[in-house]
Amino acid sequence: MRNLKTVRSLSGRTVLRLLSEHAGLYQPGQEAGILPINFILTPGNLVEKGQFLFIGRDPGQCREMLRRVEEDLPIRWEYARD
């Protein structure tokens, strides 16, 4: 599980679409993927940060998904501690 903060706030729908298109949004029945647990919203209802569970067959696959989130998505993330 990783807490990630967006550098620029986005709609929840946009975050889910980007995860689906670029990093592997978890879908029921899949063996691996990224499962958003919750989103922290701005007063304007945009995603400011969230908790994401990386599900994989081994730690290496989870690290690879995290790398893709950090490098491949057309949004920038910062690590967040809650």
Query: Long-range contacts of range 55-61, CB-CB < 8 Å, 24 or more positions apart?
Result: 55/26, 55/31, 56/31, 56/32, 57/31, 57/32, 61/32
Number of independent structural domains in the chain: 1
pLDDT at residue 46 above 90?
A: yes
The CATH number assigned to the domain holding 27 equals: 3.30.70
pLDDT digits (tens, 9 = 90+) for 53-74: 999 999 999 999 888 888 877 6
Structural domain harbouring 39: 2-79
Query: Once rounded to an integer, what is the mean pLDDT over residues 11-30?
Result: 90
pLDDT at 45: 96
| 76 has pLDDT over 70 | no
pLDDT number for residue 73: 72
Q: What is the pLDDT of residues 23-44, one digit of tens each?
A: 789 999 999 999 999 999 999 9
